[in-house]
Amino acid sequence: MASFTNNYKHTIDAKNRLFIPARFRAMLGESFYLYYEPGSPCIAVFSEEEWEKKSNEVVESRDADWQRYFFSNVITVEPDKQGRVTVKPDFCKGAGLKKDVAVVGVGNRVEIWDADKYEAEHAQLEATSKRFPSMVN
């Protein structure tokens, strides 16, 4: 499976509609999953394949509380003809999404961040990037 890479700046409108880049939509499929874990700085976006892996882990745990928590924080979305999805208002509020957002590829998922929060997070990562293994030798 190909990895989600790069980041894109977009806006979320007054109806909580957000454009998902065509490259990401092609990899995510016709419908996909938005997951917001309370306290998280962003909304995670998963393809059907990745969501199945995550949900199977939760179901197989047989932990009813975790299942209740996990599955109550997800919505399935299908992009409209303009490539937009509607984000649940509670998700927007929890992740602090305002008008400007960053849609970020993170390997097996996409993340939706408030643009200012993402810029601050990215700056912090750059400042500490020496701790990451070098990918160029």
CATH number, domain containing residue 17: 3.40.1550.20
- pLDDT tens for each residue of 18-28: 999 999 999 99
Q: Is the whole model's pTM more than 0.95, yes or no?
A: no
- pLDDT tens for each residue of 110-123: 999 999 999 999 88
Q: What is the DSSP string of 18-78?
A: EEPPHHHHHHH-SSEEEE--TT-SEEEEE-HHHHHHHHHHHHHHT-HHHHHHHHTTEEEE-
Domain membership flag for residue 136: no
Domain interval for residue 82: 7-131
Number of domains in the chain: 1
| Predicted pLDDT at 1 | 60
- pLDDT tens for each residue of 38-52: 999 999 999 999 999
